[in-house]
Structures are given as structure tokens and as C-alpha cells.
Chains A and B, each alone.
Chain A
Amino acid sequence: MSQWTDTIRQISGVDPRKCMKCGKCTATCPAYDHMEYHPHQFVDMVTTGRVEELMASKGIYTCLTCFACVERCPRSVEPAAIIEAVRLAVIRQQGGNHMTPDQIPGLLDEELPQQAITSALRKYSKGG
């Protein structure tokens, strides 16, 4: 099992071992046809330590984050949260912080909701 399994579990707050491989997430997914790996596979790849393969896949960006899988999973596994964590892991790996608190004042304007900046900071800074 790779170090990434723990990282993904930590970021997502989800325990992929709860998955009973029923496939309801994949049955539900509206973006199925555009994905290289499918929701139940995300979960399985994290459980079995194949996270790097998943990180290298373009498929993780076709997830719409519609949360249909989260809503319908009978085991509260939340595949969408796992895939979001994988995307974050990719960003974090690519070279540290993409955003620091110092940049925030410069980004503030009347149009942009402050919440969006907070979310962006959380997403694009390391060690969140």
C-alpha cells in the first residue's frame, strides 16, 4: 500500500475500506462515459494503494462533483470526496503552495465572494 492511501484518507476524511463493492456509485454516475476509471474503481484504487495511477489519470477531472454517488452510497464511502482528495494530492505534489495568505488582500474585490478566496486558499496551499 502506498503512502498515498493514508494521505487520501486524511484529506477526504473517508474510510474507503467501508466499501462493499456494490457499484451503486458507478451505476449512478452521470459522467460514466467520459471516465477512464469509474467511481467504484477510485475507491478500490485508494484501498489497494494504486493512488499514483489515479493521480496520473485525466479521468479524475471529468468527475462533476455532483455528489450523486455520495448521496446514494449505502456505506457512506463518499467516492466524490475521495476523488476531490486525489485532485488535491496532485496539486500539492506539483510544487508546494500555489497561494499564500499574503496574496489574499490583492485578490479581494467587490465582485468576488470572500468565501471563494477562502476555499481557494484551502485548496491551493500546502498542508491544509
Chain B
Amino acid sequence: MQRIGVFVCWCGSNIAATVDVVQVAQALAKEPGVVFATDYQYMCSQAGQDLIGAAIKEHGLTGVVICSCSPRMHETTFRKTCQKAGLNPYMVEIANIREHCSWIHKDKPTATEKAVILGRAAIAKVHLNAPLTAGTSPVTKRALVIGGGIAGIQTALDIADAGFPVDIVEKKPTIGGKMTQIDKTFPTLDCAACILTPKMVDVSQNEKIDIISYAQVEKVQGFVGNFSVTIRKKARYVDESKCTGCGLCTEKCPQKKVPNEFNLGLDTRRAIYIPFAQAVPKVATIDPDYCSMLKSGKCGVCAKVCAAGAIDYKQQDELITREYGAIVVATGFEPIGMDKFDEFAYAQSPDVVTSLELERLMNAAGPTGGTLLRPSDGTHPHTLVFVQCVGSRCDGGEKGKPYCSKICCMYTAKHAMLIRDKYPDTEVYVFYIDVRTPGKNFDEFYRRAVEEYGVHYIKGMVGKVTPQDGKLKVQASDLLGGRQLHIDADMVVLAAAIEPDKSARPLATMLTASMDTNDFFTEAHPKLRPVESPTAGIFLSGACQGPKDIPETVAQAGAAASKVIGLLSKDALTCNPCTAQPDELKCNGCSSCENVCPYGAISYIDKPFRGPNRTTLIRRVAQVNPAVCQGCGACTVACPSGAMDLQGFSNKQIMAEVDAICR
């Protein structure tokens, strides 16, 4: 018989206001095996932990039940407390009477009754607990960063700086991400390329960093410290080791009419291309959708002009499998499509552009060489209307996103200011719902746009844009002025909402990392663990976790790197001893468990068993690798003969809990 101690926590008023904690302790004291029961204001505090330790020693406790918050919050705390007092840490059970009880109930008697029942279930489980010992697993001292934008670049540089090798997987032919397309950055107006391209060069020159560009993660296996990742490096039909990046092929290629994605389709490129002059790696890539040699076998101009002999039309996709200790997700964002916003005439007029398109139109390396010209006729625009929150802050539905995209207020102020600065003959209107500028020097920046540069900020929204006689007729509201405005504009700029990159969702599935309803990666704790995924060994960097500007992205990238460095500095990790264990005598070798195991922890062996009359039988039985098993329990459910059991969560223990609840 176990000697069980019950400790009921008030959690200040979090629990005590809704649950009669004294009554819970008294009721649980009467349960079989309970030799001590008490309540305390903050069980997780030092005084509370001392109380538990003292009771273990004084009453010779063999099991402990703590009625408190979720085990996700303090299970580790209390396990350590009990271990210090000489008890096996796996003899501790948590009854969650906060999240599962006090926070979701209003009626005190009902909540108290439920708290007693939850405590009773935990006591029933402790009766069947057995001491467990955690093993260790080794750590592969190499990190993988998925995404080569500013987030991935910063994370990789910081990890490499600590001496650990890092691979960056980038799906585009070059690293750099969205920041390469941006002209200037708020609120200091430094040139994005001037601050980003040196970092890209640092990455390429760093011996610890390996850039795997034009590639995507295809398969992820393993667990924290021991991931095995398969990466598909797409055929670029150019030998990276031979190409010098001279660019001659990109000038001679006869296929000139390929929409240039780097300039968001505002101009064209060739079928063989280098995205931009500062690309890293600076290697040409053939676009198989447009190359006539690859499509019909006729052409071969690039191969003829390439002095390095780097063109290889027969190149195949390459699969690379590597081992990593940690994985950082830095997949970033993209602006949402504007096709659902007919009222802004985006599809009807080339002079209605998104803000990212405007970046290209204002960039010295863009299609207009940095001179702002109307895409329709190449003339200088005089009246520009900016529309904020296009697709942000929408009430569910198909059209937009429920969240604030966060960066639009600032980049719109930047655009408006730069245009007024460069072209003082322009009138610039910004229609806003709220101007949100909480950041260092951000509000000052926006006020400068209004006060120094005379940008017309109007509280209201654009209702419709009608292209007519070479102008864009803009109908809008001026809520503070109590007017409906009609503006003849030359260009309309839409601050499109941003959403996670499309590759994020399938990647999250591969990583078993959780996401929110908007497909942003979820952090392990929204305040205290903001750069870790709830899945151990997976870290988050940049806009894949939520909308972010560049300074925040860089800060988070560094934070993610420090977490990775912390992990990779360890030689071994303590494993979770709550792993599956098969009963070989019951196992019938059916492979059901092997098929459902998401971690590949189960294999089968042929094992000799002693049969009747001194015979030996060879039977096929399941074997679990405890270093790989994550204790999810899928196999215990799948096993038809009840041979598979999870240590610490055995079928018997769970049934005992159910019985205690139903009693």
C-alpha cells in the first residue's frame, strides 16, 4: 500500500476563489492510502515546496498528489521537489484543478465537487505508479534552419558564431527573402540592400554554414537532439560548383518573356536567370516551365555561351539526408492575394498596386530604376491614394484575416514620406482605420510624415476605385470631416495583409509542430517561451510565428539561436522514461503498433521462446527504442492483443482513474 500525501494549491485566488480548497483537502484525506493532506496558498513557491519536502520525510510518503495548475506548468517543478526529498519523481501526479476546474466553473460547490473527483482520480493512479528512471540520448551537434530570409540568416549566423555547423534550406534560388525586395526600412530609412547583402555574404563565407538553396524539406524523422531530415534539392540545370555567376547566359537566353517574380511580375526575365545582382549563391537557375531546351529539346544557347561549362540539362533533383540536433523554422510570410477585393480594381488597373509592388517601383534596382512611374503608361503620378488594412482585421470569412498585420502602418508612412520627399509636386492621401505605431521612434516617424511632409492622413476607408479616362476615381469616407470624398488619383496603393508562407502548413505536419487557425506557428508559451515550438527541438524565428517587422524578427532570430546553442551545447539529453513497452508474451507480431508509430520507434525481431517439452519457438515480437519513443501512446491503442503498455500511463492506471471518477 502506498503512503500518499495530497497537497491542494490555492493558486492565490485562481483556484481558491472558485474551489473550496480546505474542503478538497479534507475530502481527499479520507481516500484510501492518503496519510497526509493539506492546502497552501502557493504550492509552487519555495515555502510550498519546502512544505511538500518536509511532509515526504515526516510521513514517509511513497506517492504525492498535487492538486494545482496544469502539469504543463509545474509538473517538472514538483517532480524536482520530490526528487530532492528522496522520492522518485515519477511517483508524483498532478490533478489539474485550475485549467480543468476553477477557471472554467463559476459555481463554487460544483467546482469543489469536481476538484475532489479530479484529486481522487490522481490518487487512484498514484497507487499503481512505479518508480521510473530516465535514460539519456545523444545530441547531434548540427542545426537546420528552414528559410533563408533575414530571420533564417540571423539565426544561422548566431548559431555558427557559437561554433556549431548550420544548414540553411531555402526554397528560392537565393537566400535573402522578402527583405531583398524592400527599398528602404523604417523608421531610420536605411537601404534594405545595404544592411542585408553584407549579411548574405557573411553567410556564404562562413565555414560553418551550408546554404542548400532551391530546396525544400521533404521528410523529418526523429526527435529532439536526433532529427534526420531529407531535403529535396531541386534541379536548377546548372552545376553550382562550376557556375561563376557571370550572367552571360541570362543575357543571351532567347526566352525573354518570363514574368519576373523578384519584381512581382512588373517586368520580365529570361528562362535562365539570377534573381538579382547580389544573389547568394550567385548561380544561374533554369526555369523548366519556360526553357525551350528542357521543353522541346531545341535551343541550347546558354550551354553554348557558358565558358565554365556549368549548364547541365540532364540534372536531376537530389535528395540529401542529414542529421540535426535542432531545427529552426523561419519560413516567413507573404502578402495575401488581392483577387477578392474587386472594389479596389486591382485586377482591372495596373495602376492599383500592392505595397510590396510599390517597393519594387521605388527601388533603384527595380523595373523603373527607382523612378516612380505609373505602370500603365510610364508617366509620373501626381495624386496617390494609400489604403490601409486591406484584408487585415476582417471578421473571419474568406476575404481577409482577423489579425492586424502590424507592419503596414509603418511602411505606408514610409512610402508616403519618401514619395513626398522625392516628388514634392505630389498629393498623397493615406486612408486609415487606426494608426498603430507602438515601437521605438515609430510614432515620431508617422508624425513626421504628417507634419513635415504634409501627407494627408484621413480617418476613413476607400469604398471603391473605378478606372476611368486614365484616372482612378476613388470614393472614400472622411469620418472626422463628415464627408464623402471623391479623389481623381493616378495610383492607388493597397496595404495587403500578410499571411504565413504557403509552405508552412505542410512543414508543420512534418515537424509535428502546432499552428494556430491562421497557420502561424504556435509558441511553447506566449510570454515565457516565445521562440520555442511546443515540440521539443523545434524553434521559431521571424514572421512564421506572427506578423513582425525587421528589428523584431532579428531579435527573435537571435533568441531562437541562443536556444539552439543551449541545446547543442549539451552532450546528452535526459529522455522521457514514460515510453511504450511491449509484453512479449502477449505480442502476436501483427505490426499494428509499428504502422501507427509517428516516430519510427518500433521495430520487430525474431526471438526464441521456450516452448513445451524443451522445444524452442521463434516468434516475431515488437521492440521499442526508448530513446526514440516519445510516449504518445498511439501503439497502446492500436495493439489488438493489449501487449503494448505505456510506462507511467499504463492501461491499468488509466482505468483506475476512470473508475475513481465514476465512483
Contact = CB atoms under 8 A, between A and B. Distances in A.
A7 interface: no
A24 B465 CA distance: 12
Contacts of B397: 76
Interface stretch (B67-75, B111-119, B369-377, B472-480): B472-480
A104 interface: no
B165 interface: no
Contacts of B479: 21, 23, 26, 40
B322 interface: no
Interface in A25-70: 25-29, 32-33, 38, 40, 68
B389 A75 contact: no
Interface in A67-112: 68, 72, 74-77
Given A23-B459, A29-B463, A74 B476 contact: no
Contacts of B477: 23-24, 26-27, 38, 40
B484 A27 contact: yes
Given A20-B393, A40-B477, A75-B395, A26 B484 contact: yes
A46 to B, nearest CB: 17
B612 interface: no
Nearest to B396: A76
Contacts of A120: none
A122 interface: no
Contact of A76 (B389, B393, B395, B476): B395
Contact of B460 (A27, A33, A72, A74): A27
Interface in B460-514: 460-464, 475-477, 479, 484
B499 to A, nearest CB: 16
A74 B343 contact: no
B394 interface: yes
Contact of B399 (A18, A74, A77): A74
Nearest to B400: A74
B396 A20 contact: no
A71 B380 CA distance: 34
A22 interface: yes
Given A21-B479, A40-B477, A74-B399, A27 B394 contact: no
A21 B433 contact: yes
Interface centre among B397, B476, B479 (most CB of A within 10 A): B479
Contacts of A38: 477, 484
B490 to A, nearest CB: 19
Contacts of A25: 463
A110 B221 CA distance: 73
A24 B395 CA distance: 14
Given A40-B479, A74-B395, A76-B395, A24 B463 contact: yes
A22 B394 CA distance: 11
Contacts of B461: 22-24, 27
On chain B, which size bracket covers the interface? 20 to 34
A126 to B, nearest CB: 32
Nearest to B458: A23
B395 A28 contact: no
Contacts of A32: 484
Contacts, number: 63
Interface in B340-396: 343, 389, 393-396
A28 B475 contact: yes
A22 B389 contact: yes
Contacts of B396: 76
Nearest to B432: A22
Nearest to A71: B343
B464 A28 contact: yes
A27 B400 contact: no
Nearest to B459: A23
B207 to A, nearest CB: 50
A33 B394 contact: no
A28 B343 contact: yes
Interface string B597-618: 0000000000000000000000
Contact of A28 (B394, B400, B459, B463): B463
Contacts of B475: 27-28
Nearest to A73: B395
Interface centre among A25, A26, A77 (most CB of B within 10 A): A26
A75 B396 CA distance: 8
B463 A26 contact: yes
Interface centre among A28, A40, A74 (most CB of B within 10 A): A74
Interface string A1-33: 000000000000000001011111111110011
B284 to A, nearest CB: 44
Contacts of B460: 22-23, 26-27
Contacts of A18: 395
Nearest to B460: A23
Interface in B395-442: 395-397, 399-400, 433
B642 to A, nearest CB: 51
A27 B385 CA distance: 14
A45 to B, nearest CB: 14
A24 B484 CA distance: 11
A20 B484 contact: no
Interface centre among B395, B433, B460, B463 (most CB of A within 10 A): B463
B340 to A, nearest CB: 11
Contact of B462 (A20, A27, A76): A27
A27 B399 contact: no
B508 to A, nearest CB: 27
Contacts of B464: 27-28
B394 A75 contact: yes
Contact of A22 (B399, B433, B484): B433
Contacts of A22: 389, 393, 433, 460-461
A27 B393 contact: no
A24 B396 CA distance: 17
B371 to A, nearest CB: 31
A36 to B, nearest CB: 11
B484 A74 contact: no
B389 A29 contact: no
Nearest to A68: B463
Given A26-B463, A72-B463, A20 B343 contact: no
A27 B433 CA distance: 12
Nearest to B478: A23
B463 A20 contact: no
B484 to A, nearest CB: 4
10 contacts: A23-B461, A23-B477, A24-B477, A26-B463, A26-B479, A28-B343, A28-B475, A74-B394, A74-B395, A75-B394
Given A74-B400, A76-B395, 14 more contacts: A22-B393, A22-B433, A23-B461, A23-B477, A23-B479, A26-B460, A26-B477, A27-B477, A27-B484, A28-B464, A40-B477, A68-B463, A72-B343, A75-B394
Interface of A: 18, 20-29, 32-33, 38, 40, 68, 72, 74-77
Query: Lowest 5 A-B CB distances belong to which pairs?
Result: A27-B463, A28-B463, A27-B477, A24-B461, A23-B477
Interface of B: 343, 389, 393-397, 399-400, 433, 459-464, 475-477, 479, 484
